[in-house]
Amino acid sequence: MHWFIVDETNRDYSANHFFIVGGLVFKPDQVEPVDAAVRAIREKYGYLPGDSFKFDTRARPEQVSIEQSTAAKGELIVALRDLGVRMITYVILHDLCMNQTYDVRMNYALNTLAYAYSDLLRQENGTGVMLMDRDNDRYAHLESLFQDGLTFSGGRKFRLDHRIKLFGMTNDNASHLSSAADVALGAFRYCVNAAGGWGKDAVAREMFPVVSSIMWGVEQGTVRRIGGYGFHARPQRVGKPDFQVLYADLKNALMTYANASD
């Protein structure tokens, strides 16, 4: 039974280009080692019981310095890579969705992620649980994902319940898995924002080679493909040239960051 822990970030469109939703997929034999890794890192860097361990530096507890927080996050992402944990992400340009309600934006993101997760489970002949960060307005949509599945243009239906056996909610202090998902998604967010000028290129170049290594991908010859697997940019067709440039710039920057350590 796999576990997919999902969260959203970059909700405020005034300080970035892209709305982001994503999370981590844990295989059954990864749950205990990830839990142990987070526990060890928390203890090493002075996080006390009840303290949140998140990517946002401002969320660190008072007794943990910025340097300690940064080191803790870096060690956790490396641990996730070494354990083989995978990340699935969704991005959409704020300019293309800011006129929609938050409900519409979030539900569409969950649809895309649920489909991708179902595909991962299909490829591994597995089943799983999908849990999102607590959002009381999302209960009806989670019920619909389980009961009705997805409906594509033209009316084609796609069932999710054959692979995803439970849709539900959690929060960052309810498990160490949620902390791991927050840190990994926060690192991805930082690199996406750096590509648009809201972050330091040097930091993204150092960070993203490890972050990209945990994104779900497939080897195609000498190339590792994450598009359509661990990275989903929506919409798939962008008409306005200015917006096409922003998507192209993001993909080019992430490719540059990913190869920065080569």
At residue 25, the pLDDT reads: 98
Q: What is the mean pLDDT of residues 75-95?
A: 98
- Side-chain-facing half-sphere of 73: CA atoms under 13 Å: 28
């009705």: which residue's tokens?
148
Is the pLDDT score of 261 beyond 60? Answer: no
Note whether 168 and 142 are within 8 A (CB): yes
């490719």: which residue's tokens?
255
Query: What pTM does this model have?
Result: 0.96
Which 3-state string (H, E, C) describes 85-96?
Answer: CEEEEEEEEHHH
Convert the pLDDT of each residue in 224-257 to its tens digit. Answer: 899 999 999 999 999 999 999 999 999 999 999 9
Is the pLDDT score of 219 beyond 90? Answer: no
Convert the pLDDT of each residue in 114-152 to its tens digit. Answer: 999 999 999 999 999 999 999 999 999 999 999 999 998
Domains of the chain with bracketed CATH: 2-258 (3.30.420.10)
At residue 15, the pLDDT reads: 79
Supply the mean pLDDT for the chain.
Answer: 95
User: Is residue 12 very low, low, confident or very high in pLDDT (cuts 50, 70, 90)?
Assistant: confident
User: Using CA atoms, how far apart are residues 56 and 197, in angstroms rounded to an integer?
Assistant: 18
Cα 127 versus chain centre, distance = 20
3-state helix, strand, coil in the chain (%, to 5): 50, 20, 30
